[in-house]
Structure formats: structure tokens, C-alpha cells
Amino acid sequence: MEGCILLVLGIGLLHTASAVTHSLKYFYTASSEVPNFPEFVVVGMVDDVQMVHYDSNSQRAVPKQDWMNKRTDTQYWERETGNFLGSQQTFKIDINTLKQRFNQSGGVHTWMRMYGCEWDEDTRVTEGFDQFGYDGEDFVAFDLKTKTWIAPTPQAVITKHKWDRNMGFNENMNNYLTQTCIDWLKKYLDYGKSTLMRTVPPLVSLLQKTPSSPVTCHATGFYPSGVMVFWQKDGQEQHEDMENGETLHNIDGTFQKSVHLTVTPDKWKNNKYQCVVQVTGIKEDFIKVLTESEIQTNWGKTNRGANDPNTTGSALIIGVVVALLAVVAVVVGVVIWKKKSKKGFLPTSTSDTDSDNSGKGVQKT
């Protein structure tokens, strides 16, 4: 079950990190018969930074960032707690309904919801999404264009027809995803701007386990998460013999990413290979030229410090562990996102998750 739970150019082209895209995402997870794991968990994230947490054990919504605690009041958290408690009750009913629908009696099962919005700071383009998954597979998703639900499995058709008939709810859902959610995203960005809007340059290291292993370009400690890491050979970007790693969280809230290059010593000694790192919001490129003195190895190297392989390896392990813990907390690694675009922004004066006003509450399956 842990596996299930743990289940994003050449010369002449301008090669830069992607534009700053901000996001507000909520993840609801109901589970059954999972040892040492709450039956219901809610995680709220702004730009992939957790700012709200709720679980069925504590039955309290709590801030996970100082700036959320400072900029919100007691009423805000009481509303959040009430809304999450209502969702917890609905999700508990849902998971029993779905087990019957899939002809399942007992065992470990998960019922998940992922919803939220994104806003491109440069183009002002917005996107909204709302998707449910059962046991790690897509179950039903909201289509912003038609304001109806998409059912990818036969067992979801009943839910689709039921939810499609609730046109008022779907209209409110559309308004939330395209307007209210964007409004709250901008509010939260303002609340945490000293943290969320900062830029931190990367520490770049070249690592190699053995003389015959791929050379890894490891960039760590950067913020925000938007990054391009790529190898160049004699000024041209390499597309072959490359393996891109995922962008992972570090324990201090920054990010890391690795790109592996398979190349023989003869090739990199007779050609100019270099790793280029570009971070969103930072104009400077960070470059490491592949030379014998730059490679940090697990054999014969005694240089210690920021680029020490043991230090960097530890940071990598920590980042992986933190990333896995985050996935466990929200149980979303097994859900495929389906996002549709829609512009819009309107002010709101209530809690982000206040279903009476936001229009993004939950329905029974």
C-alpha cells in the first residue's frame, strides 16, 4: 500500500527557464484500512509550499507557514475547520459507496481530490482544475469548457450523470476555479511574498559515482522551482545520452534538480562539455565546465565543503525523503492532472474554502 500511496535547444534558440507560474492547490485524501495514517487528510499549497493542513485525527485546520498565521484570524481557521470536517464526512460516505460500486468488500482503498488554479505572472493566463481519483486511477474530472464532468471509467458514469444534473453547483464550480481561486492565490502570494516571491541562486556540482558512471549535474538550493538544467557540447545543447531528473523539494523549502550525461572520458576531455542552469527570475546563467578538477567523486576525492559529494549526496537524500513525505501527505502522485484554461478574476471576502460562497464544495458520489 505504501507503494500505491507514493505513487512535471540548439544554437540560435533562446534557452531560458520557464516564466513564473503561480499555483494554489488543494489535495483531499480519504483512505480505508491504512495503518498509522489518518482516514482523511487535507493539504493546501501555494507555489508547492504547504500552508494549510487538516486531518481526521486532530480535526483542526492549522497554518503551516508563519505568514499564514500572521495574516489570518480565528474566524478564518474556524471556517476552514468546519468546511474540511464536512468534506471528511462526505468522503467517508463516498469511499464506502465506491467500494460497493467496484465490488470490493475490505482492504486498503483511497479516494482523492485534487483541485485549484494557476496564474502566469507574465501572460496573465489562468487555469483551473478539479479531479478525483480512486485507488490511484482517474475517476472523474471537471471540464471547464462544457461545465460538465468527464468519466473515464464505467463505474464513474453514475457519478457523472448525478453531478451533471446539478447545474447550479457546476456553475459555481466554474466561477470558483476561474475567478475566486485566482483571487485567493494572489492574496496568499501577498501574504507570503517575502518567502514566495524571493529568488535564490543554485549551488551547482558535477558528480560521478565511478569513472564509468554518467556525470550528474546537480543544482540545489534554488528558488523558485522553475528551472532549466541542460548539458552543452561545444556550445550546442545535448539531446542524446541525457536523463533528466525530477525537480525535488529540499528540507529548507528550496529545490533541487539533476541531469545525467553519459559520456566517455575521451569525449569530454577532447570537447567542451558544460552544464547550464537557469532559474526563473534570475537573469544570470550558472555554468559548470566538465573538467577533471570539477568532478566530485566517490573515489579518491578528499575535498570537503559545499561541493563535497557526501554533503551533496546527503542533500539529495534529504530532498528525496522530503518529496516522498509530501507525496504521502497528499497522495497525489498516482493522479494524472487534466487542466483546462479559463481567464477571470473577481474579488471575494470569504474563506478560500468556504463552500457557501466559493462554489467549490463537494458532492456525494
Give ∠ CA 280-330-258 in degrees, rounded to 5: 40
Q: Are 345 and 231 in a shared domain? A: no
Q: From the first residue on, what is the mean pLDDT of each consecutive set of 10 residues in the chain (365 residues)?
A: 36 48 96 93 94 97 97 96 96 94 92 96 92 96 96 96 96 96 97 94 95 94 94 93 93 94 92 96 95 84 42 40 41 37 30 47 80
Q: Are 337 and 273 in a shared domain? A: no
Q: Are 263 and 320 in a shared domain? A: yes
Q: pLDDT value at position 4?
A: 40
Q: pLDDT value at position 17?
A: 53
Identify whether 140 is part of a domain: yes
Total domain count for the chain?
2
Q: Are 59 and 148 in a shared domain? A: yes
Q: pLDDT value at position 19?
A: 61
Q: Are 124 and 28 in a shared domain? A: yes
Q: How far apart are CA 139 and CA 116, in angstroms?
A: 17
User: Are the C-beta atoms of 174 and 184 separated by less than 8 Å?
Assistant: no
Q: pLDDT value at position 300?
A: 57
Identify whether 365 is part of a domain: no
Q: What is the CATH number of the domain that holds 105?
A: 3.30.500.10
The answer to whether the bond into 152 is cis (omega within 30° of 0) is no
DSSP conformational letter for 223: B
Q: How far apart are CA 357 and CA 346, in angstroms?
A: 13
Q: What is the CATH number of the domain that holds 305?
A: 2.60.40.10
Identify whether 364 is part of a domain: no
Q: Are 291 and 211 in a shared domain? A: yes
Identify whether 209 is part of a domain: yes
Identify whether 291 is part of a domain: yes
Q: pLDDT value at position 13?
A: 34
Give ∠ CA 8-14-18 in degrees, rounded to 5: 30
Residues contacting residue 57 through CB under 8 Å, at least 6 positions apart: 38
Q: Are 319 and 332 in a shared domain? A: no
Q: pLDDT value at position 45?
A: 96
| Phi, psi angles (nearest 5°) of residue 225 | -80, -15
Q: How are beta strands 203-208 and 295-297 bridged, if at all?
A: parallel
Identify whether 81 is part of a domain: yes
Q: Are 290 and 337 in a shared domain? A: no
Identify whether 363 is part of a domain: no
Q: Are 171 and 215 in a shared domain? A: no
Q: Are 158 and 293 in a shared domain? A: no
Residue among 49, 13, 15, 79 nearest 194 (CA):
49
Q: Are 163 and 293 in a shared domain? A: no
Q: Are 178 and 145 in a shared domain? A: yes
Domain that holds residue 61: 2-7+9-195+327-358
Identify whether 45 is part of a domain: yes
Q: pLDDT value at position 360?
A: 60
Q: pLDDT value at position 244?
A: 95
Q: pLDDT value at position 21?
A: 86
